[in-house]
Chain A
Amino acid sequence: MGRYILLRLGGLAGVLIAVSVVTFVLMHLIPGGPYDEEKMPLSEEAKANILRSYGLDKPLWQQYLLFAGNALRFEFGYSYQSPGETVTQLISRVWTVSLQLGALTLAVAIPLGLGLGIVAASHRNSWLDNFVTLLATAGIVLPTFVVGILLILLFSNTLHWLPTGGWEGPRTWVMPVIAYALGPAGIIARYTRTCVIEGAGADYVRTARAKGLREGAVMWRHVLRNAAIPILTIAGPLVPDLLTGSIFIETIFRIPGLGSYFVTSVYQRDYPMIMTLALLAAFVVSIAYLSTDLIYLAIDPRIRLAS
């Protein structure tokens, strides 16, 4: 078990190195630098001073090693687009907002998806089942920005119930969270439905019923417990997407989160920020996959590691 985790962490390190190298190369392929004339008119000397202070006068391979060395100590340098703030400070400031949004979305999507899936499965082939299936499909298929636009048009423009954007209290949370949660909820609902239908026909469920267990207990203790693994396989990879912020949701609802920095950092050639964002995204994705696998091992005694 410990060996397995170690191996996986080694793989994670490999991914992070690969991602950092590719990002570094690609980002320096982009023509122009952070302190070009059209962005801010500076004298030659002043520009040289700035370049030197950020280490941008050194050869590229030295710059990379310098970044990598500092990154190992969790120092990512100063962000160019937000002077006076370290990358760490900037990210922790804006990521908090994205994390709130992501956590709220998960808190809505998981119960909603499970609930819809169970309802659909226990009314199989009824109009309710068809309705849930259509709703889930629409949730999966429609881009978040399309859902977001439609929500604004309905709740802000037509009904005047909710503000069009911002991030100041529960009233501004409603629409972004719904727009964001529909996709994951739809995916979870579809898989829950399939798993519950499959599980409901199993022998151990019949036995549980035969010994007189109530329907609710059969569902919780037997059907859902066995459905947990396939559902987890599907839900696990959804988490990192929700936690790194959605540039689309944040743009539409004017939420000051991490998402928009993926674009602005590239535009402004904010090298330290680009590198850190790429590493952060790759790290969150890898950790999510790893923890999904570990939770697997914990809840399913049938899964054993091949030694």
Chain B
Amino acid sequence: MRPAGAAPAPSSSGLPGVALPGTSVLAMGRAARESSPGGEAWRRFRANRLGPLGLVIVLLLVLLAIGAPLIAPYPYDKPDFGAAWQFPSRQHLMGTDGIGRDFFSRIVYGARTSLAIGLSAQAIALTLGILLGLAAGMRGGMVDFVVMRLVDAVWAFPRLLFAIMLLTVLGSGFTNVLFAIAVTGWIPICRLTRAQLLGQREQEYVAAARAIGATERRVARVHLLPNIMGPIIVALTLGVPEAIFAEAGLSFLGIGINPPIPSWGQMVGESVSTIRFYWHLALFPAVMIGLTMLGFVLMGDGLRDALDPRSRS
């Protein structure tokens, strides 16, 4: 992979952070500066040309979500029946929907829904997944068996059908959509945490820590967790678009986020029956979902190159 931009290519590419005996003090100093773990990861992240593009898209989305009240020219939920079904114009940048709400404002506020679902679903997934993964990987035995059978059972179930039934039982809306997504969202993180633990547990540094009398809890917190975080961060980044996709899908089917709260998936779903005439109602939310997914996945792929030791060339 070639480094991007005009910056001179860093010379160190073999073993990060390792200065060989016999190299000059000057060279050691440079190696240390260039290959601190964070610096090394950042260099690898930039070397992947699409990663930074993803980062920019994600940052723009975050700005859109935070600044929604400043950016949106109209309230997202105020109907204006005299101005219904308008095509994009100077007054309404993206036109208006069937009851005259400004579509641009709804698109802007939709960023909040997507990001809120994506981030909070991953926060839940992280907590549940790491705790159960740690329990299974560190304790082993019966705990491991029970957790892994739970994982198998949840995973074998047809997920869409499960979400539909759950939302019919609980009713639609933000919290319940979040719950329906989180119920299965923790599984990849749990599996990954456990698998990473099993791989790292037998490493020499862990044996060394045990030999000098570290408790099991200290081994987990100080030695194991920092060493398995890289792949988990990558999985989390890739889990965000999955949660966003799930929300968009459920809202598309009309069982996700309830109007008037705007959700891009819901907008696409509502636009299908009128797509022949009112193209703007379909195009803008579809493009926003696509951009969001692309942004997070490209950023995640870049992070994988930067953080995942297995993918280092």
Task: List chain A positions with a Cβ less than 8 A from chain B.
Answer: 15, 18-19, 22-23, 26-27, 29-31, 134, 137-138, 140-143, 145-146, 149-150, 152-153, 156-157, 164, 247-248, 251-252, 262-263, 266-267, 274, 277-278, 281-282, 285-286
Contact = CB atoms under 8 A, between A and B. Distances in A.
B279 interface: yes
With most chain A CB atoms within 10 A of its CB, the pick from B156, B249, B276, B283 is B156
B245 interface: yes
B157 A266 contact: no
B269 to A, nearest CB: 8
Nearest to A31: B169
B13 interface: no
B275 A18 contact: no
Interface string B156-190: 11101110111011000000000000000000000
Nearest to A289: B156
Chain A binding surface, main DSSP class? helix
28 contacts: A18-B156, A19-B158, A22-B153, A22-B157, A23-B161, A27-B165, A29-B169, A30-B165, A137-B297, A137-B298, A137-B301, A138-B290, A141-B290, A141-B297, A143-B248, A145-B269, A146-B286, A156-B276, A157-B276, A248-B249, A248-B252, A251-B253, A251-B272, A262-B161, A278-B157, A281-B161, A285-B156, A285-B158
Contacts of A143: 245, 248-249, 289-290, 293
Interface in B229-288: 241, 245, 248-249, 252-253, 255, 268-269, 271-272, 275-276, 279, 282-283, 286-287
Contacts of A277: 158, 161
A145 B279 contact: no
Contact of A145 (B166, B268, B298): B268
Given A26-B169, A153-B283, A274-B161, 19 more contacts: A22-B153, A26-B166, A138-B290, A142-B289, A142-B293, A145-B252, A145-B268, A146-B286, A146-B290, A149-B271, A149-B283, A149-B286, A150-B283, A164-B276, A248-B252, A262-B164, A263-B164, A263-B255, A277-B161
A282 B279 contact: no
B294 interface: yes
A164 B273 CA distance: 10
A18 B165 contact: no
A208 to B, nearest CB: 26
B158 A278 contact: yes
Contacts of A145: 249, 252, 268-269, 286
With most chain B CB atoms within 10 A of its CB, the pick from A134, A141, A247, A278 is A141
Given A26-B169, A145-B252, A153-B275, A19 B157 contact: yes
Given A18-B156, A282-B157, A266 B164 contact: yes
Contacts of B252: 145, 248, 251
A163 to B, nearest CB: 10
Nearest to B289: A146
B275 A157 contact: yes
A262 B269 CA distance: 17
Contacts of A248: 249, 252
A263 B255 CA distance: 9
Contacts of B287: 146, 150
Contacts of A164: 275-276
B187 to A, nearest CB: 15
A22 B166 CA distance: 12
A266 B158 CA distance: 14
A153 B286 CA distance: 11
B165 A150 contact: no
A153 to B, nearest CB: 6
A251 B289 CA distance: 18
A164 B166 CA distance: 32
Contacts of A142: 289-290, 293-294
A156 B282 CA distance: 13
B283 A138 contact: no
A266 B168 contact: yes
A263 B253 contact: yes
Given A149-B283, A251-B272, A278 B253 contact: no
Nearest to B277: A157
B279 A153 contact: yes
With most chain B CB atoms within 10 A of its CB, the pick from A134, A146, A247 is A146
Nearest to B255: A263
Contacts of B301: 137
Nearest to A244: B158
Given A142-B293, A286-B156, A30 B168 contact: yes
